[in-house]
Amino acid sequence: MKKSFLIMIALIFLTTFAFAGGDQNQNRYDGEIGAGPTQQQRIANPNNDALQISQFDETQKERIYSIYEEEKVARDVYITLGGLYPDENTFANIQLSEQTHMDAVRNLCVKYGIEIPEVDQAVGVFELEEMESLYLDFVNYGQASLISALQVGVEIEGMDIADLTAALAGMPRDVQKVFSNLVHGSENHLDAFTAAIIRETAQ
């Protein structure tokens, strides 16, 4: 009788431990509710990233490349206007950040097989005609005065924020993450140019 009782206790203990271990294992993979796909979903979609790449269409590729050249417009305009107004550090500081933005989108282009011309680092040279026109228009307007140049910065960053936000829809998660980070960066740039205008107009 005593032996049967001990066997029963041992079975209860093992059953409880198995359930606890299973819960711990599930939590280790899935975390809290709503934190991401469940283990079962991951098993059902083991090659989700590869699937996203295979389903990436030409329109999405064109959109990403357009964003790349738009970031280049910002960098090139700030390089050019920074040369005209060397005492205004806002251009010098932000052109470095725009290079970082370009590099981030370039990495996406490499991942998704989007070709980038060899001349992409040359200032004022663009593959897309509309981007070349934007560059020339912004530079021409900014040549008028320092205030005009700073207003160009405001216009460029506002354009970037709008276009990046619009480009998020339907993109893979990694593209959305990069574009969202660029939006935050452009918001900071917008604040910097706005502050510079306030500083200059107050003098």
Q: What is the rounded distance in angstroms from the CA atom of residue 7 to the CA atom of residue 172?
A: 55
Q: Would you state the pLDDT for residue 57?
A: 84
Evaluate whether 76 touches 123 at the Cβ level (below 8 Å): yes
Q: Is the pTM of this model over 0.85?
A: no
Q: What is the mean pLDDT of each run of 10 residues along the chain (203 residues)?
A: 47 44 37 38 45 71 96 97 96 95 96 85 93 98 98 98 96 96 98 97 87
Q: Helices 58-84 and 89-111: crossing angle, nearest 10°?
A: 160
Q: Would you state the pLDDT for residue 27?
A: 35
Q: Would you state the pLDDT for residue 55?
A: 63
Q: Would you state the pLDDT for residue 118?
A: 77
Q: What is the rounded distance in angstroms from the CA atom of residue 29 to the CA atom of residue 160?
A: 37
Q: Would you state the pLDDT for residue 88?
A: 96
Evaluate whether 104 touches 154 at the Cβ level (below 8 Å): no
Q: Would you state the pLDDT for residue 56?
A: 76
| Domains in the chain with CATH codes | 2-44 (no CATH), 48-201 (1.20.1260.10)
